[in-house]
Amino acid sequence: MSAKVKVVHEELGEFIFSTRDISDGGVFIVVDTEPFAPNLGDTVTVQVQGLPVPAPVLEMVVVRKTNDGYGLQFDQNGD
């Protein structure tokens, strides 16, 4: 499944990315030319876009960086 998501980082701002490899544990966001460069361990909020009703806003942790994006894991400590 691929979706558009809004990712908000406290210091870097708000971005819209495409997803790849969505699973029970997290999601991979594809970062092309956006100036998005979080550190591993940073917390971001993620909200799926384009649904008929607003999706929940979820806290996620940046756990992996590749050449084309970032792996985000659902925050196990968040409520």
pTM for the full predicted model: 0.90
Average pLDDT rounded to a whole number, residues 22-28: 91
H or E stretch including 42? none
The two structure tokens encoding residue 72: 């985000």
Report the pLDDT value the prediction gives residue 4, as an integer from 0 to 100. Answer: 94
pLDDT in tens, 37-55: 999 999 999 999 999 999 9
Report the pLDDT value the prediction gives residue 58, as an integer from 0 to 100. Answer: 95
Residue 14 has pLDDT above 90, yes or no: yes
Domain locations in the chain? Answer: 4-74
H or E stretch including 26? strand 26-30
Listed in sequence order, the DSSP H helices in 1-79 are none
DSSP state, residue 59: E
Establish how many alpha carbons lie within 13 A of residue 9's alpha carbon, considering only the half-sphere containing its beta carbon.
17
The Cα 13–Cα 26 span in angstroms is 21
